[in-house]
Structure 1
Amino acid sequence: MPVLPGAEPYRHEGGEVGVLLCHGFTGSPQSLRPWAEYLAERGLSVSLPLLPGHGTRWQDMQLTGWQDWYAEVDRALRELLRRCRQVFVLGLSMGGTLALRLAAKHGPAVAGIVVVNPAMKTHGLSAHALPVVRHLVPSAKGLTNDIAKEGAEELGYDRVPLHAAYSLRKFFALVEAALPQVTQPLLLLRSPRDHVVPPADSARILARVSSRDVREVLLEQSYHVATLDHDAERIFEESLSFIGRLAPIAGQKGSTSGG
């Protein structure tokens, strides 16, 4: 299936500081593209991959699971590590969960983590019934477009494939168990008015990571997809400040690729 216009992956060859951005469940790189371009314009090397099963149609996602999504961000991280001196991992929603898994698995190779409205538990979708329901019903109503800003649209699926949702549930449990292995500096930004992920998920992460350099920022004007919402610029600025504090940012600019 062809990739939906706007859902393409994004790369930018910048300086010796690299940034990997991970999009969310049923979403696409479109939700993080402005963030990626902001960092690229400031001289960072940027990788924003498209997760398998995403960016086409929800039926394609039925054939994928957390192992596929994680393998893609792991590959992108290793590629950045080969050409950058320091690499940071950033993520929205499930992308934040992927970032935490990368941090736990790669240790000091990941210089720091920035997560926006990170997810740590399956909510709704009759979560406890998923093991059975996924064999009876292929999909449920979608989770996209929780945005306060008028006119802003998230490019994602309007249906949640339940086989994939069941895999996501297992992934959350795996990552939560590994949170004590996360030791990197952590910037967590969350929206108090998030209609997809409750505050308890962020609280669970903050309580269980071993990171000592931790900062939490509230995004008062935004809903779940805060990277496209009223607080987007604040997210971009806070993340750049976080990276700049931990890494010598090279100001050189490189080439951009949308594919």
Structure 2
Amino acid sequence: MPLLPGAEPFRHDGGEVGVLVCHGFTGSPQSVRPWAEHLAERGLTVSLPLLPGHGTRWQDMQLTGWQDWYAEVDRALRELRENCSEVFVCGLSMGGALTLRLAAKHGADISGIVLVNPANKVHGPAARALPVVRHLLPSTSGIASDIAKPGREEVGYDRVPLHAAYSFRRFLTMLDRELPQVTQPLLLLHSPEDHVVPPADSARILARVSSRDVTERLLERSYHVATLDHDAELIFEETFAFISRLSAGVGTASRG
């Protein structure tokens, strides 16, 4: 199955500091590629994988679940660890949730994490019905392109596959129990007006993690896909400043 335009994974070999960037549920690397490219242009080694079942058609995602998505970012993290002296992980929405689980499981192998509108729960009455409804309906309306900036669109599915949504819900329930294991420095940026993931999810995450070095930033002009929205440059600059503060290797990273 051919990839949607812009859904290709991205990789840049730079210096000793590596960054893994994770995209969101039903989205693709396109939604976070400017973020990845910004970091690559500043000499960092960057990996932005395409999650299984994404970037083609929503029917393909029906055959995947959280174990597949997590396995892919875990593989990409281990590859970065083999080639870099230290690694940071960044994620948007479900990518933020995957980032949190990597942080909980890999501990000191991750030097810091950056979350943009991270998901903590599948909301609404339909979420409680997913165990049954997923056997009756294959999909529901999509969640892509929640962007305030005119003319910007996210490359993602126009339908949400319900088997995958049910798997995502189970993943978030499990992850919530693991959040106290997250101890790394954390930068969290979130939108007060988000039509996909409410601000309550960010508040819950901040209340549950054990990180002592925590920075929170509001994205006042952006909706959910803030990495393509009015505050994108703020996200990119804050991310690089966060990594630079924590890593002595940034200043000596080569520009590839």
Task: Give the aligned partner of residue 214 of structure 1.
Answer: 214
The equivalent of 1:227 in structure 2 is: 227
Preserved contact between residue 187 and residue 215 of structure 1 (Cα < 8 Å): yes
Q: Deviations over 1:174-210 (max 9, x none)?
A: 1110000000000000000111101110011000000
Matched, 1:253 2:252: no
Q: Does 1:111 align with 2:118?
A: no
SS of 1:24's equivalent in the other structure is coil
Deviations 1:99-138, CA, capped at 9 Å, x for gaps: 0000000000000000000000002470000000000000
Alignment of 1:31-50 (within 5 A): 31-50=31-50
Normalised by the length of structure 1, the TM-score is: 0.97
Cα distance in 2 for partners of 1:106, 1:116 equals 20
Equivalents in 2 of 1:167, 1:223: separation in Å? 25
The amino acid across from 1:253 in the alignment is: R
User: How much identity, in percent, do the aligned residues show?
Assistant: 76
Superposed CA deviations along residues 47-77 of structure 1, whole A, max 9, x for unmatched, are: 0000000000000000000000000000000
Superposed displacement of residue 172, structure 1: 0.1
Contact 2:17 2:253 in 1 (8 A): no
Aligned residue for 2:243, secondary structure, equals: helix
The 8 Å contact of residues 19 and 47 in structure 1, kept in 2 or not, is answered as yes
Equivalent AA in structure 1 for residue 87 of structure 2: V
Which residue number corresponds to residue 71 of structure 1? 71
Q: TM-score, normalised on structure 2? A: 0.98
What is the CA distance between 1:253 and its match in structure 2?
A: 1.7
SS in 2 for 1:126: helix
Q: Which runs of 4+ in 1 moved over 3 A?
A: none
Q: Which residue does 1:101 correspond to in 2?
A: 101
Corresponding residue number in structure 2 for 1:257: none
Aligned positions, number = 254
In structure 1, distance between residues paired with 2:125 and 2:91: 23
Partner in structure 2 of residue 7 of structure 1: 7
